[in-house]
Structure 1
Amino acid sequence: MSEKIKEVHANLPRTFDRTDEPWYHYLTIDIIWKVLGYTLFHPWTSWILVLCLRAQLTPYEALEMKISMAWALAMSTIGVFNIISERVAYGRAREVDLSEEVIVITGGVEGLGGLLAETYGMRSANVAVLDTKEISNEEGEEKGILYYKCDVSDAKQVEAVAAEIVEDLGVPTILINNAGIVHSKSILDSTAEDVENVFRTNTLSHFNTLRTFLPHMLREGRGTIVTVSSVLGSLGAANLSSYAASKAALLALHHSLRAELAQHQDGKEIKTILVTPGQMSTRMFADVKTPSNFLAPIVAPVDVAKDILRLVEQGESGEVAVPLYSQYIGILGVLPVGVQTLVRRWSGVDTAIVKAGLVQNEKSE
Structure 2
Amino acid sequence: MNSSTSETENRTKPQQQQKRTLSHKNESISDHLSIDTIIEYLSRTIFRPGGAILASLANLAIYSHSDWRFFVSLIWAALLTFISLWNHVDRLYANQSRWFLNPPKLNWEEQIVLITGGGSGIGALLAKTLTERNAKVVILTKDPPQSESSNSEIKSYICDVSHCKEVDAVAAKVRKEVGHPTIIINNAGVVKGKLLLDLTEEDINDTFGANTLAHFWVLKAFLPAMIKEGKGHVVTVSSLLGLIGTAQMTDYCASKAAVVSLNQTLRFELDNRYKTPSIRTTLVLPSFIQTKLFDKVQLPPSRIWNFFCPPLRPETVVRAIISAMEEQESRIIRLPWYTNGARFMGDGTGLIPAWLRDALQWVAGADFAMREYGPRPDAAERLAAEKEQERGIDLDSKKNR
TM-score, normalising length: structure 1: 0.90
Relative CO higher for 1 or 2, CA cutoff 8 Å, sep ≥ 6?
1
Q: Could you say which residue in structure 1 is the equivalent of 2:345? A: 332
CA contact (8 A) 1:28 1:295 kept: yes
Give yes or no for the alignment of 1:100 onto 2:110: yes
Map residues 208-357 of structure 1 onto 2, 5 A cutoff: 208-291=217-300, 292-333=305-346, 334-354=351-371, 357=372
Structure 2 gap ranges (5+): 1-5, 377-401
For the residue of structure 2 that corresponds to 1:181, the secondary structure is: coil
> 2:335 aligns to what SS in structure 1?
coil
Q: Give 1:287 shift.
A: 2.9
1:75 Cα deviation after fit: 0.2
Q: CA separation in 1, counterparts of 2:167 and 2:103? A: 27
Structure 1 contact 290–298 (Cα < 8 Å) conserved: no
Contact residue 94 and residue 269 of structure 1 kept, 8 A: no
Q: Spell out, residue by residue over 1:160-203, the C-alpha distance to the aligned partner (whole angstroms, 9 max, x if none).
A: 21122122222111000000011111111111111011100110
**Counterpart amino acid of residue 66 in structure 1:** F
- Map Cα deviations across residues 271-291 of structure 1 (whole Å, 9 max, x no partner): 000000010010111232333
Aligned to 2:34: 28
Aligned residues: 354
* One-letter code aligned to 2:32: Y
Whether 1:87 and 2:92 are equivalent positions in the alignment is yes
Give the Cα separation in 2 of the matches to 1:19 and 1:348: 30
Q: Identity across aligned pairs (percent)? A: 34
Instruction: Give the whole-Å Cα distance in 1 for the aligned partners of 2:111 and 2:275.
Output: 18
Comparing 332-341 and 272-281, the one that deviates more? 332-341
| Residue 72 (str. 1) matches residue 77 (str. 2) | yes
Distance 1:212 1:35, change over 3 A: same
Alignment partner, residue 122 of structure 1: 132
Judge conservation of contact 2:184–2:233 (CA < 8 Å) in 1. Answer: yes
| Aligned 8 A contact 1:233 1:247 in 2 | yes
Name 1:193's counterpart in structure 2. Answer: 202
Q: Larger % of helix: which?
A: 2
The structure-2 alpha-carbon separation of the partners of 1:167 and 1:141, relative to structure 1 and needing over 3 Å to count, comes to farther
Alignment gaps of 5+ in structure 1? none
Q: 2:151 aligns with which of 142, 153, 176?
A: 142
Q: Which has the larger radius of gyration?
A: 2
SS at match of 2:157: strand
Residue of structure 1 aligned with 2:170, choices 138, 161, 168: 161
Single out whichever of 10-19 and 63-72 deviates more from structure 2. 10-19
Residue of structure 1 in register with 2:66 after alignment: 61
Give yes or no for contact 1:140–1:146 (8 Å, CA) kept in 2. Answer: no
Asked if structure 2 preserves the Cα contact closer than 8 Å seen for 1:183 and 1:360, the reply is no
The residue aligned with 2:389 is none
Query: What secondary structure is seen at the aligned counterpart in 2 of 1:327?
Result: helix
- Compute the TM-score of the two structures, normalised by the length of structure 2: 0.83
Distance in structure 2 (CA, Å) of the matches to 1:14 and 1:113: 21
Q: Secondary structure at the match of 1:128?
A: strand
Across the aligned residues of Structure 1 and Structure 2, the Cα RMSD in angstroms comes to 2.4
Distance (whole Å) between structure 1 residues aligned to residue 299 and residue 45 of structure 2: 29
